[in-house]
Amino acid sequence: MYKVKEIRFTFWILIILIGLSACVHQPVDADLSNQTNSERAQLSAKVHTELAAEYFNRKQLDVALEEVGEALKAQPNYAPAYNVLGLVNMTLNENNKALENFEQAIRLAPKNSEIHNNYGWFLCQRFAQQMDQAIGHFMIAAKDPMYSTPEMSYANAGLCELKRQRFDEAQLYFQRALLIQSNYLPALIGLADMDFQRGNVVEAQSKITHLLQNNSASPEGFLLAIQVEQAMGDQMAADSYIFQLQKYFPDSKEAAIIREGKIKQ
């Protein structure tokens, strides 16, 4: 799971930007003028990056790329812009470009935990041979006392360990995530998926059914429920989950997996 900051500004910020560029010209000290220009560039880069993140969340990738471009015009070394650019290129399956983007973002902001989390997720999903490196980035983020969502990084580490079937390690990471947030859905789904992959289908069915009845639904949860019910031989229950997945999350990659018949049974 990647993380991008949601948009946190209104049109008055854009008005400020315009106002700064159109202010009355007065004789000023050169250092003060340079400082003002730098602050204006920083604010412009921040605004365009947050716009890019919002368009990325809305799956308007072309517009997101345009906004990232504007951010980097304002400030060529703005790390958050490279972070969003990496996510966009990852979604576009431009893996080499995304790799360059994330590496540049890390070079520019080596202590930015959001970037570490996203870079780790990218490596986990696209470069299986670099899984240890991915886990390392998750741990940098998770152990940062200033990071607002360490449970996400712990759960991501668990999901990546699950991909290579290191079940004991995955369980520890999921449990760490749940110690921080006891109802953190990705970690709960991860534990159910771990049971399923281990062949404990009855236990997996119990967990995923309980989750879907008592927590907010998610495409990942529905997909796992479909697989579990099919493994249990209950196609009627699986069809019910398929219907709900297509109804509530039609644009998700999980719904596409079902439509394309790629589900693992």
Q: Is residue 146 part of a domain?
A: no
Task: Tell me the residue type at 145.
Answer: P
H/E segment holding residue 75: none
Query: Is residue 156 included in any domain, yes or no?
Result: no
Answer yes or no: is 81 within a domain: no
Give the single-character DSSP code of 252. Answer: S
Task: Give the whole-angstrom CA distance, residue 140 versus residue 116.
Answer: 7
Dihedral class, residue 43 (left if φ above 0, else alpha if ψ from -120 to 50, else beta)? alpha
- Tokens matching residue 9: 């500004």
Distance CA 223, CA 200 (A): 17
**Is residue 92 included in any domain, yes or no?**
no
Query: Which residue range(s) make up the domain with 208?
Result: 185-265
Reported confidence tier of residue 150, pLDDT bands at 50, 70, 90: very high
Q: Which residue has the tokens 């106002």?
A: 19
Tens-digit pLDDT profile for residues 109-142:
999 999 999 999 999 999 999 999 999 999 999 9
Amino acid at 43: L
Asked, for residue 78, whether it belongs to a domain, the answer is: no
What single-letter amino acid sits at 190? G
What CATH number does residue 221 fall under?
A: 1.25.40.10
Q: What does 150-192 look like in DSSP terms, one character per residue?
A: HHHHHHHHHHHHHHTT-HHHHHHHHHHHHHH-TT-HHHHHHHH
Is position 200 within any domain? yes
What predicted TM-score, i.e. pTM, was given to this entire model?
A: 0.85
Report the alpha-carbon angle 191-173-123, nearest 5: 100
- Closest by CA to 122, choosing from 152, 155, 160, 151, is 160
Residue 40 lies in a domain: no
Residue among 41, 154, 83 at smallest CA distance from 33: 41
Q: What is the mean pLDDT of residues 90-99?
A: 97
pLDDT in tens, 191-245: 999 999 999 999 999 999 999 998 788 999 999 999 999 999 999 999 999 999 9
Amino acid 118: pLDDT: 97
Report how many domains make up the chain: 1
**What is the average pLDDT across 160-171?**
97
Q: Tell me the pLDDT tens digit for each residue of 43-94.
A: 999 999 999 999 999 999 999 999 999 999 999 999 999 999 999 999 999 9
* Domain assignment present for 120: no
With cut-offs at 50, 70 and 90, classify the pLDDT of residue 34.
low
